[in-house]
Amino acid sequence: MLSRHQDPIAAIATAPGRGAVGIVRVSAPQDLTPLVQALCGRALKPREATYLPFRSAAGEAIDHGLALYFPAPHSYTGEHVLELQAHGGPVVLQLLLARCLEADPALRMRLAEPGEFTRRAFLNGKLDLAQAEAVADLIDASTEAAARSAGRALAGALSSEVGQLRDALIALRMLVEATLDFPEEEIDFLQAADALGKLRRLLAQLDALLERSRQGAILREGIKVVLAGQPNVGKSSLLNALAGAELAIVTPIPGTTRDKLSQTIQVEGVPLHISDTAGLRDTDDEVERIGVARSWDAIADADVLLFLHDLTRVGRPDYEAEDAEIRTHLAGVDPARILQVYNKADAPESAAARQDLTPGALTLSAKTGAGLDALRRRLLEQVGWHAVPEGLFIARERHVQALRRTREHVALGLEQAAQQPPALDLMAEELRLAHDALGEITGAFSADDLLGEIFSRFCIGK
């Protein structure tokens, strides 16, 4: 009985809907010659596109298109792969897929699961785990900078740097293990090999890679920005100004916005997921009250909370009382995530209020656009964005966490090595744990449940 990872699989590899071209992909550990003969009526030259009819079981042409055969191991998955490029109609592609599934009963072919082709590429050594994730990131990229960075990760930029760190860790582990065999000479041996210097250099390399990975994670995930404040402070107007489109209804009536409205824009290639929320206030309106509750949920999940104020009402007792109540509710939010912004700077009556603003606060006009560029820059600064996107590779939060754990163990290993005498057994254990954590990035030490979680998020056919 073949394991599930060795089943022949087939799927439509192009997006649902109508298009000029659609692709059906087949991958199997077994030779696909009988399937090729049944579908194409002839043998195919490896890696050469051939125009021909795709045959039904009755010998009739389902469609005419290009067939490509990639014998193992020279294919995307490392297995035997057949790709049929037909016209992109949903019915045509479903007919071709059904024909692939039943053409050779001996194969017992089944439909592919999400990400299964790329998972096989990983399992067969065609890609490491970081590269496999970069395939999905390249498909999902929402900005040009994110797409370019995902391409670098797919080409092995992250894997290469992780590999260099891994080699340095292996060399240190070998040094420590060898020293443990000669305990009477351990101090001189470690000093001669500059073990402390190697550990310090390794920590510096980890810090540099960790910082770049943080930037790559921002580029991939984007920044969740929530606009919050009292009704009629200009949240919807600011969303429209940032998006460059009339997305939200703007009226002088308090409570116009009753639900969260989101839009993604990009600044310096970084996706900003901006959400306009219902004005924060007590209300008897049931619908508005639900909207306010959703506003607080969005605030809790924000990377940056843009607390918007109305310059024309600053100093009024009733307005200041409402703002004070909102600040009380925000007491549990990290102050580093809150950006104070004062809107309606274009209004003549706002001039006096600008003298006593919160230090570090921004003033702007959503109506005229004045101050929007400063706001965009501050939003990036707020989350620590400062890298040049052209030098980045895409990264995921799990990569960042793995690097953090690696650094923690290397730092502990340095502490053990610096003791007199060195605690070599503890140092060896910390370096082993660092090696394991680093291996999680490329898949050298990945549990099956982690692989399942990663590849389940891919599209079917990839």
The CATH 1.20.120.430 portion of the chain extends over 134-218+394-443
What is d(CA 394, CA 130) in angstroms, rounded to the nearest whole number? 9
What is d(CA 398, CA 440) in angstroms, rounded to the nearest whole number? 9
What is d(CA 414, CA 37) in angstroms, rounded to the nearest whole number? 62
The CATH 3.40.50.300 portion of the chain extends over 223-302+304-382
The CATH 3.30.1360.120 portion of the chain extends over 4-127
- The encoded tokens of residue 221 equal 């995930």
What is d(CA 142, CA 220) in angstroms, rounded to the nearest whole number? 8
Is 173 in contact with 428 (CB distance < 8 Å)?
A: yes
Q: Tens-digit pLDDT profile for the chain (462 aa)?
A: 345 788 999 999 998 889 999 999 999 999 999 999 999 999 999 999 999 999 999 999 999 999 999 999 999 999 999 999 999 999 999 999 999 999 888 889 999 999 999 999 999 999 999 999 999 899 888 888 888 889 999 999 999 999 999 999 988 888 887 777 665 555 566 676 788 888 999 999 999 999 889 888 888 888 999 888 888 888 888 888 888 766 645 545 454 444 567 788 888 888 898 888 776 666 656 666 677 777 777 888 889 998 998 888 888 898 888 888 888 888 888 888 889 999 988 887 776 666 667 778 899 998 899 999 999 999 988 888 876 655 678 888 899 999 999 999 999 999 998 888 778 889 889 999 999 999 999 887 655 655 666 677 677 777
Domain 134-218+394-443, what architecture?
A: Up-down Bundle (1.20)
Strand order in the sheet with 50-55: 50-55, 61-70, 80-88, 19-28, 9-12, 110-111
What is the per-residue pLDDT across 398-429, written as a single tens digit (0 to 9) for each? 999 999 999 999 999 999 988 887 788 898 89
SS3 of 331-348: the string is HHCCHHHEEEEEECCCCH
Torsion-angle region of 25 (φ positive above 0: left; ψ -120 to 50: alpha; else: beta): beta
CATH superfamily of 4-127: Probable tRNA modification gtpase trme; domain 1 (3.30.1360.120)
The class that CATH gives domain 223-302+304-382 is alpha beta
Is 221 in contact with 270 (CB distance < 8 Å)?
A: no
Amino acid letter at 11?
A
What is d(CA 152, CA 131) in angstroms, rounded to the nearest whole number? 9
Q: Output DSSP code: residue 76.
A: S
Q: Output DSSP code: residue 108.
A: -
What is the per-residue pLDDT across 109-168, written as a single tens digit (0 to 9) for each? 999 999 999 999 999 999 999 999 999 899 888 888 888 889 999 999 999 999 999 999
